[in-house]
Amino acid sequence: MKLSVPAIDFDVFHRTELPQRLARGNGPLAWADLKDAPPLGFRIPGAGAGYTYVPSDGTVRVAPGTAEAETIVELDLNSWRQLACEYRTPIGLAYAGKLSFARGDYTGLSRWEAALWAMFMGRPVYDPALVDLTDASGKPLDLHRRFAADTPLEEMRGYFLKTGYLVIKGLFSQAEIETLREEVMRIAAEATPGDRHSWWAKNAAGEDLLSRLLYLGMKSRVIAALPDDSRLARLASMSEVPLIAVHDRMDSPVAMLKVAGAVSGLADYPWHVDCGLGLHPILCPKIVMGIQLDAMTPQNGQLYMLAGSWRYSCRQGPDTNYDNLPVVALETEPGDCTLHFAHNLHAAPPPQLARGRRTIYVGYCKPGFEQVFAPGEGPNDVLYTAQDAFIPTADVAGKAASG
Protein backbone atom coordinates (compact mmCIF):
# COMPACT_ATOMS: atom_id res chain seq x y z
CA MET A 1 0.00 0.00 0.00
CA LYS A 2 1.38 3.41 -1.01
CA LEU A 3 -0.37 5.97 1.13
CA SER A 4 0.84 9.55 1.44
CA VAL A 5 -0.27 10.79 4.86
CA PRO A 6 -0.48 14.58 5.34
CA ALA A 7 2.20 15.88 7.74
CA ILE A 8 -0.27 17.40 10.21
CA ASP A 9 1.31 19.00 13.26
CA PHE A 10 -0.35 17.56 16.36
CA ASP A 11 -0.07 20.74 18.45
CA VAL A 12 -0.92 23.22 15.69
CA PHE A 13 -3.95 21.14 14.76
CA HIS A 14 -5.32 21.17 18.31
CA ARG A 15 -4.44 24.77 19.14
CA THR A 16 -5.51 26.36 15.86
CA GLU A 17 -6.99 24.22 13.09
CA LEU A 18 -9.46 22.12 15.04
CA PRO A 19 -10.86 25.04 17.09
CA GLN A 20 -11.40 26.89 13.80
CA ARG A 21 -13.29 23.95 12.32
CA LEU A 22 -15.41 23.65 15.44
CA ALA A 23 -16.21 27.36 15.33
CA ARG A 24 -17.19 27.15 11.64
CA GLY A 25 -19.95 24.67 12.48
CA ASN A 26 -18.31 21.33 13.13
CA GLY A 27 -18.71 21.77 16.87
CA PRO A 28 -22.52 21.84 16.87
CA LEU A 29 -22.55 18.91 14.42
CA ALA A 30 -20.53 16.86 16.90
CA TRP A 31 -22.47 18.07 19.94
CA ALA A 32 -25.62 16.51 18.49
CA ASP A 33 -24.20 13.09 19.38
CA LEU A 34 -22.22 13.99 22.51
CA LYS A 35 -24.68 15.23 25.09
CA ASP A 36 -23.96 12.26 27.41
CA ALA A 37 -20.40 11.48 26.30
CA PRO A 38 -17.48 11.74 28.76
CA PRO A 39 -14.36 13.68 27.68
CA LEU A 40 -11.90 11.96 25.36
CA GLY A 41 -8.15 12.59 25.34
CA PHE A 42 -5.39 11.93 22.79
CA ARG A 43 -1.72 11.76 23.56
CA ILE A 44 1.42 11.05 21.52
CA PRO A 45 3.84 9.27 23.89
CA GLY A 46 6.92 11.38 24.51
CA ALA A 47 5.47 14.42 22.74
CA GLY A 48 3.73 16.48 25.40
CA ALA A 49 0.66 16.29 27.60
CA GLY A 50 -1.88 15.80 24.80
CA TYR A 51 -5.36 17.28 24.41
CA THR A 52 -8.88 16.50 25.57
CA TYR A 53 -12.17 16.91 23.72
CA VAL A 54 -14.87 18.10 26.10
CA PRO A 55 -18.57 18.41 25.11
CA SER A 56 -19.61 21.86 26.31
CA ASP A 57 -22.44 24.33 25.68
CA GLY A 58 -23.56 23.01 22.30
CA THR A 59 -20.08 22.42 20.88
CA VAL A 60 -16.78 20.73 21.72
CA ARG A 61 -14.00 22.42 23.66
CA VAL A 62 -10.37 21.42 23.04
CA ALA A 63 -8.55 21.48 26.38
CA PRO A 64 -4.76 21.22 26.76
CA GLY A 65 -3.59 18.17 28.68
CA THR A 66 -5.58 15.05 29.56
CA ALA A 67 -6.54 15.66 33.19
CA GLU A 68 -10.24 15.94 32.28
CA ALA A 69 -10.31 12.88 30.02
CA GLU A 70 -12.16 9.76 31.10
CA THR A 71 -10.53 7.89 28.20
CA ILE A 72 -6.95 8.64 27.10
CA VAL A 73 -5.90 7.22 23.74
CA GLU A 74 -2.18 6.83 23.09
CA LEU A 75 -0.87 6.31 19.54
CA ASP A 76 2.14 7.26 17.45
CA LEU A 77 2.16 10.46 15.40
CA ASN A 78 1.65 8.81 12.01
CA SER A 79 -1.31 6.80 13.30
CA TRP A 80 -2.88 9.92 14.77
CA ARG A 81 -2.42 11.70 11.44
CA GLN A 82 -4.18 8.83 9.69
CA LEU A 83 -7.06 9.13 12.14
CA ALA A 84 -7.27 12.91 11.74
CA CYS A 85 -7.73 12.61 7.96
CA GLU A 86 -9.88 9.45 8.17
CA TYR A 87 -7.33 7.27 6.43
CA ARG A 88 -7.80 4.90 9.34
CA THR A 89 -10.69 4.56 11.76
CA PRO A 90 -10.48 3.56 15.43
CA ILE A 91 -11.20 -0.09 14.66
CA GLY A 92 -8.76 0.02 11.74
CA LEU A 93 -6.04 1.27 14.08
CA ALA A 94 -7.01 -1.35 16.65
CA TYR A 95 -6.66 -4.15 14.10
CA ALA A 96 -3.26 -2.76 13.15
CA GLY A 97 -2.18 -2.80 16.79
CA LYS A 98 -1.67 0.98 16.89
CA LEU A 99 -3.81 1.88 19.93
CA SER A 100 -3.24 1.75 23.66
CA PHE A 101 -5.10 3.39 26.52
CA ALA A 102 -3.52 5.19 29.44
CA ARG A 103 -6.99 5.53 30.95
CA GLY A 104 -10.26 3.87 30.02
CA ASP A 105 -10.61 1.46 27.11
CA TYR A 106 -11.73 1.11 23.51
CA THR A 107 -15.40 1.66 24.31
CA GLY A 108 -14.62 5.25 25.29
CA LEU A 109 -13.07 5.89 21.89
CA SER A 110 -15.81 4.03 20.00
CA ARG A 111 -18.45 6.17 21.69
CA TRP A 112 -16.90 9.25 20.06
CA GLU A 113 -16.29 7.91 16.56
CA ALA A 114 -19.28 9.43 14.74
CA ALA A 115 -18.67 12.75 16.50
CA LEU A 116 -14.98 12.69 15.56
CA TRP A 117 -15.89 12.69 11.87
CA ALA A 118 -18.20 15.61 12.51
CA MET A 119 -15.37 17.47 14.26
CA PHE A 120 -12.64 16.60 11.76
CA MET A 121 -14.57 16.36 8.49
CA GLY A 122 -17.79 18.28 9.02
CA ARG A 123 -19.90 15.20 8.25
CA PRO A 124 -23.13 15.23 10.27
CA VAL A 125 -24.10 12.42 12.64
CA TYR A 126 -27.10 10.46 11.37
CA ASP A 127 -30.41 11.86 12.55
CA PRO A 128 -33.60 10.49 10.92
CA ALA A 129 -35.21 13.90 11.30
CA LEU A 130 -32.61 15.32 8.90
CA VAL A 131 -32.81 12.60 6.24
CA ASP A 132 -34.98 13.32 3.20
CA LEU A 133 -36.67 10.07 2.17
CA THR A 134 -39.39 11.63 0.01
CA ASP A 135 -39.86 11.74 -3.75
CA ALA A 136 -40.01 14.86 -5.93
CA SER A 137 -43.64 15.44 -4.96
CA GLY A 138 -42.94 15.15 -1.25
CA LYS A 139 -44.47 11.69 -0.81
CA PRO A 140 -42.57 9.12 1.31
CA LEU A 141 -40.43 6.77 -0.75
CA ASP A 142 -41.32 3.09 -0.80
CA LEU A 143 -38.19 1.90 0.97
CA HIS A 144 -38.85 -1.71 -0.10
CA ARG A 145 -39.22 -0.89 -3.79
CA ARG A 146 -37.61 -3.19 -6.37
CA PHE A 147 -36.98 -1.57 -9.74
CA ALA A 148 -37.44 -3.19 -13.13
CA ALA A 149 -34.21 -3.47 -15.11
CA ASP A 150 -35.55 -1.15 -17.83
CA THR A 151 -36.51 1.65 -15.41
CA PRO A 152 -35.10 5.00 -16.64
CA LEU A 153 -31.75 5.66 -15.06
CA GLU A 154 -32.70 9.08 -13.72
CA GLU A 155 -35.68 7.61 -11.86
CA MET A 156 -33.47 5.03 -10.18
CA ARG A 157 -30.77 7.60 -9.53
CA GLY A 158 -33.11 9.89 -7.61
CA TYR A 159 -34.08 7.02 -5.33
CA PHE A 160 -30.52 5.73 -4.95
CA LEU A 161 -29.03 9.09 -3.99
CA LYS A 162 -31.61 9.45 -1.22
CA THR A 163 -31.73 5.93 0.23
CA GLY A 164 -28.15 4.85 -0.45
CA TYR A 165 -29.29 1.47 -1.79
CA LEU A 166 -31.23 0.01 -4.71
CA VAL A 167 -32.67 -3.36 -5.78
CA ILE A 168 -33.05 -4.14 -9.50
CA LYS A 169 -35.10 -7.14 -10.57
CA GLY A 170 -33.82 -9.72 -13.03
CA LEU A 171 -30.73 -7.91 -14.23
CA PHE A 172 -29.04 -11.27 -14.87
CA SER A 173 -30.67 -14.22 -16.65
CA GLN A 174 -31.21 -17.64 -15.10
CA ALA A 175 -28.53 -19.09 -17.38
CA GLU A 176 -26.02 -16.42 -16.29
CA ILE A 177 -26.77 -17.05 -12.63
CA GLU A 178 -26.34 -20.81 -13.02
CA THR A 179 -22.95 -20.26 -14.64
CA LEU A 180 -21.86 -17.84 -11.92
CA ARG A 181 -23.00 -20.26 -9.19
CA GLU A 182 -20.97 -23.05 -10.74
CA GLU A 183 -17.89 -20.83 -10.91
CA VAL A 184 -18.23 -19.72 -7.29
CA MET A 185 -18.71 -23.26 -6.01
CA ARG A 186 -15.78 -24.53 -8.09
CA ILE A 187 -13.53 -21.87 -6.53
CA ALA A 188 -14.98 -22.59 -3.08
CA ALA A 189 -14.03 -26.26 -3.39
CA GLU A 190 -10.39 -25.24 -3.92
CA ALA A 191 -10.21 -22.75 -1.00
CA THR A 192 -8.28 -23.59 2.15
CA PRO A 193 -7.84 -21.74 5.45
CA GLY A 194 -4.78 -19.51 5.30
CA ASP A 195 -4.72 -19.08 1.53
CA ARG A 196 -5.35 -15.32 1.96
CA HIS A 197 -7.97 -15.45 -0.78
CA SER A 198 -10.74 -16.67 1.49
CA TRP A 199 -12.30 -15.89 4.87
CA TRP A 200 -13.22 -18.59 7.35
CA ALA A 201 -15.14 -18.96 10.58
CA LYS A 202 -15.57 -21.82 13.02
CA ASN A 203 -18.66 -23.45 14.48
CA ALA A 204 -19.08 -24.73 18.03
CA ALA A 205 -17.50 -28.05 17.05
CA GLY A 206 -14.36 -26.27 15.84
CA GLU A 207 -15.06 -26.99 12.18
CA ASP A 208 -13.96 -24.54 9.50
CA LEU A 209 -16.72 -22.65 7.69
CA LEU A 210 -15.95 -20.90 4.40
CA SER A 211 -17.63 -17.48 4.45
CA ARG A 212 -16.00 -15.38 1.75
CA LEU A 213 -13.96 -15.77 -1.46
CA LEU A 214 -11.68 -12.96 -2.65
CA TYR A 215 -10.26 -11.97 -6.03
CA LEU A 216 -12.56 -14.25 -7.99
CA GLY A 217 -11.47 -12.63 -11.23
CA MET A 218 -8.06 -14.26 -10.83
CA LYS A 219 -9.68 -17.68 -10.91
CA SER A 220 -12.58 -17.23 -13.35
CA ARG A 221 -12.70 -15.47 -16.72
CA VAL A 222 -16.49 -15.24 -16.45
CA ILE A 223 -16.33 -13.41 -13.13
CA ALA A 224 -13.34 -11.33 -14.25
CA ALA A 225 -15.58 -9.81 -16.94
CA LEU A 226 -18.27 -8.67 -14.48
CA PRO A 227 -16.75 -5.29 -13.46
CA ASP A 228 -16.82 -4.21 -17.12
CA ASP A 229 -20.33 -5.52 -17.79
CA SER A 230 -22.27 -2.72 -19.52
CA ARG A 231 -25.28 -3.22 -17.24
CA LEU A 232 -23.22 -2.66 -14.11
CA ALA A 233 -21.23 0.20 -15.66
CA ARG A 234 -24.53 1.94 -16.47
CA LEU A 235 -25.64 1.64 -12.86
CA ALA A 236 -22.28 2.89 -11.58
CA SER A 237 -22.84 6.08 -13.57
CA MET A 238 -25.52 7.09 -11.05
CA SER A 239 -22.80 8.29 -8.69
CA GLU A 240 -22.41 12.03 -8.21
CA VAL A 241 -18.72 11.70 -9.13
CA PRO A 242 -17.19 9.45 -11.81
CA LEU A 243 -16.27 5.96 -10.61
CA ILE A 244 -14.19 3.19 -12.16
CA ALA A 245 -14.43 -0.57 -11.73
CA VAL A 246 -12.28 -2.44 -9.23
CA HIS A 247 -10.82 -5.56 -10.84
CA ASP A 248 -7.98 -7.01 -8.79
CA ARG A 249 -7.61 -4.84 -5.70
CA MET A 250 -9.51 -4.45 -2.41
CA ASP A 251 -10.64 -8.11 -2.58
CA SER A 252 -12.89 -7.47 -5.62
CA PRO A 253 -14.71 -9.35 -7.06
CA VAL A 254 -15.87 -11.10 -3.89
CA ALA A 255 -18.33 -13.88 -3.16
CA MET A 256 -20.09 -13.90 0.20
CA LEU A 257 -21.27 -17.30 1.37
CA LYS A 258 -23.58 -16.97 4.36
CA VAL A 259 -23.15 -19.87 6.77
CA ALA A 260 -25.04 -20.81 9.91
CA GLY A 261 -23.58 -21.73 13.27
CA ALA A 262 -20.47 -19.54 13.27
CA VAL A 263 -19.16 -18.78 16.76
CA SER A 264 -15.88 -17.11 15.76
CA GLY A 265 -14.27 -15.51 12.74
CA LEU A 266 -15.82 -13.28 10.09
CA ALA A 267 -19.04 -14.85 8.86
CA ASP A 268 -21.74 -12.54 10.17
CA TYR A 269 -21.68 -8.78 9.87
CA PRO A 270 -23.07 -6.45 12.52
CA TRP A 271 -23.92 -2.88 11.59
CA HIS A 272 -20.97 -1.45 9.68
CA VAL A 273 -19.84 0.55 6.65
CA ASP A 274 -17.61 -0.98 3.98
CA CYS A 275 -15.06 1.80 4.48
CA GLY A 276 -15.13 1.09 8.21
CA LEU A 277 -11.41 0.37 8.47
CA GLY A 278 -10.48 3.66 6.83
CA LEU A 279 -9.74 5.52 3.58
CA HIS A 280 -13.26 6.91 3.21
CA PRO A 281 -11.95 10.16 1.58
CA ILE A 282 -10.00 8.13 -0.99
CA LEU A 283 -12.51 5.40 -1.83
CA CYS A 284 -15.94 6.96 -1.41
CA PRO A 285 -18.49 7.45 -2.75
CA LYS A 286 -17.74 3.79 -3.49
CA ILE A 287 -20.61 1.75 -4.93
CA VAL A 288 -20.88 -1.96 -4.16
CA MET A 289 -23.00 -4.09 -6.52
CA GLY A 290 -24.33 -7.46 -5.39
CA ILE A 291 -25.27 -10.08 -7.99
CA GLN A 292 -27.70 -12.31 -6.14
CA LEU A 293 -27.06 -16.00 -6.82
CA ASP A 294 -29.85 -17.01 -4.43
CA ALA A 295 -33.01 -15.44 -3.13
CA MET A 296 -32.41 -13.08 -0.22
CA THR A 297 -34.88 -13.89 2.57
CA PRO A 298 -35.19 -13.59 6.36
CA GLN A 299 -34.15 -17.25 6.57
CA ASN A 300 -30.89 -17.11 4.63
CA GLY A 301 -29.12 -14.04 6.02
CA GLN A 302 -30.62 -11.09 4.19
CA LEU A 303 -29.07 -7.64 3.97
CA TYR A 304 -30.32 -4.79 6.17
CA MET A 305 -29.86 -1.12 5.27
CA LEU A 306 -30.26 2.09 7.27
CA ALA A 307 -31.95 4.25 4.66
CA GLY A 308 -30.20 7.50 3.78
CA SER A 309 -27.21 6.97 6.05
CA TRP A 310 -24.52 7.20 3.38
CA ARG A 311 -24.16 10.99 3.70
CA TYR A 312 -23.75 10.80 7.49
CA SER A 313 -21.70 9.16 10.22
CA CYS A 314 -23.48 6.63 12.39
CA ARG A 315 -22.92 5.37 15.87
CA GLN A 316 -22.20 1.66 15.89
CA GLY A 317 -21.57 -1.03 18.46
CA PRO A 318 -23.57 -3.44 20.61
CA ASP A 319 -25.08 -0.66 22.73
CA THR A 320 -26.47 1.25 19.73
CA ASN A 321 -30.26 1.24 19.39
CA TYR A 322 -31.72 1.19 15.88
CA ASP A 323 -35.36 1.14 16.98
CA ASN A 324 -37.56 3.74 15.28
CA LEU A 325 -35.00 4.24 12.52
CA PRO A 326 -35.72 3.52 8.82
CA VAL A 327 -34.07 0.08 8.80
CA VAL A 328 -34.95 -1.87 5.65
CA ALA A 329 -34.57 -5.62 5.11
CA LEU A 330 -33.86 -6.25 1.43
CA GLU A 331 -35.50 -9.18 -0.34
CA THR A 332 -34.40 -10.42 -3.75
CA GLU A 333 -34.65 -13.29 -6.22
CA PRO A 334 -31.76 -14.99 -8.05
CA GLY A 335 -30.62 -12.68 -10.85
CA ASP A 336 -31.54 -9.50 -9.00
CA CYS A 337 -28.82 -6.93 -8.39
CA THR A 338 -28.41 -4.82 -5.27
CA LEU A 339 -26.47 -1.56 -5.09
CA HIS A 340 -25.35 0.29 -2.01
CA PHE A 341 -22.94 3.05 -1.20
CA ALA A 342 -20.06 1.65 0.83
CA HIS A 343 -20.69 4.30 3.49
CA ASN A 344 -24.37 3.37 3.87
CA LEU A 345 -24.76 1.61 7.23
CA HIS A 346 -25.78 -2.02 6.75
CA ALA A 347 -25.74 -5.43 8.41
CA ALA A 348 -25.94 -9.09 7.40
CA PRO A 349 -26.95 -11.27 10.37
CA PRO A 350 -26.56 -15.05 10.42
CA PRO A 351 -28.91 -17.23 8.37
CA GLN A 352 -31.44 -19.54 9.96
CA LEU A 353 -30.80 -22.20 7.33
CA ALA A 354 -27.71 -24.41 7.21
CA ARG A 355 -26.66 -22.76 3.95
CA GLY A 356 -27.41 -19.10 3.49
CA ARG A 357 -27.44 -16.89 0.42
CA ARG A 358 -24.56 -16.57 -2.02
CA THR A 359 -23.75 -13.20 -3.56
CA ILE A 360 -21.00 -11.88 -5.84
CA TYR A 361 -19.96 -8.31 -5.03
CA VAL A 362 -18.18 -5.95 -7.43
CA GLY A 363 -16.85 -2.53 -6.40
CA TYR A 364 -16.62 0.86 -8.15
CA CYS A 365 -14.46 3.61 -6.65
CA LYS A 366 -13.11 7.06 -7.39
CA PRO A 367 -10.01 7.03 -9.61
CA GLY A 368 -6.86 7.06 -7.53
CA PHE A 369 -7.36 3.94 -5.44
CA GLU A 370 -5.23 2.03 -7.93
CA GLN A 371 -2.33 4.31 -6.98
CA VAL A 372 -2.74 3.39 -3.31
CA PHE A 373 -3.17 -0.37 -3.67
CA ALA A 374 -1.22 -2.73 -5.90
CA PRO A 375 -2.98 -5.78 -7.37
CA GLY A 376 -3.93 -8.13 -4.58
CA GLU A 377 -3.85 -5.42 -1.89
CA GLY A 378 -6.68 -3.78 0.03
CA PRO A 379 -7.74 -2.25 3.35
CA ASN A 380 -8.97 -5.60 4.68
CA ASP A 381 -5.43 -7.00 4.64
CA VAL A 382 -5.03 -5.65 8.16
CA LEU A 383 -7.57 -8.24 9.30
CA TYR A 384 -5.04 -11.03 8.82
CA THR A 385 -2.76 -11.99 11.67
CA ALA A 386 0.74 -13.32 11.10
CA GLN A 387 -0.86 -16.78 11.13
CA ASP A 388 -3.19 -15.84 8.24
CA ALA A 389 -6.19 -16.13 10.52
CA PHE A 390 -8.75 -13.55 11.50
CA ILE A 391 -9.17 -11.87 14.87
CA PRO A 392 -12.81 -11.13 15.84
CA THR A 393 -13.49 -7.44 16.35
CA ALA A 394 -14.24 -7.88 20.05
CA ASP A 395 -10.83 -9.50 20.59
CA VAL A 396 -9.09 -6.64 18.79
CA ALA A 397 -10.88 -4.04 20.90
CA GLY A 398 -10.04 -5.98 24.04
CA LYS A 399 -6.38 -6.21 23.08
CA ALA A 400 -6.27 -2.47 22.39
CA ALA A 401 -7.96 -1.77 25.70
CA SER A 402 -5.30 -3.70 27.59
CA GLY A 403 -2.51 -1.90 25.73
Q: Answer whether residue 15 shows pLDDT above 80.
A: yes
Q: Which CATH class is domain 10-121?
A: alpha beta
User: Where are the CATH 2.60.120.620 domain residues in the chain?
Assistant: 147-372
DSSP symbols for 108-126 = HHHTTHHHHHHHHH-PPBP
Q: Which CATH number fits domain 147-372: 3.40.640.10, 1.10.645.10, 3.40.190.10, 2.60.120.620?
A: 2.60.120.620
Residue 229 burial (CB < 10 Å; 0-12/13-18/19+)? Answer: middle
For 305-342, give one letter per residue: b (16+ CB within 10 A) or e. bbbbbbbbbbbbeeeeeeeebbbbebebebbbbbbbbb
pLDDT score of 380: 85
- Asked whether 171 and 336 are in contact (CB, 8 A), the reply is yes
pLDDT digits (tens, 9 = 90+) for 24-78: 999 999 999 998 899 999 999 988 899 999 999 999 999 999 999 999 999 999 9
Instruction: Provide the pLDDT confidence category of residue 384 given band limits of 50, 70 and 90.
Output: low
DSSP for 262-281? EEEESSSEEEE-TTTTS-HH
Q: What is the mean pLDDT of the chain?
A: 92
Res. 318 pLDDT band, cuts 50 70 90: low
Domain with CATH 3.30.1050.10 in the chain: 10-121
pTM of the model: 0.92
pLDDT digits (tens, 9 = 90+) for 275-307: 999 999 999 999 999 999 999 999 999 999 999
Ordered DSSP codes for 201-251: EEETT--EEEEEE--GGGT-HHHHTGGG-HHHHHHHTTSSS--EE-SSSTT
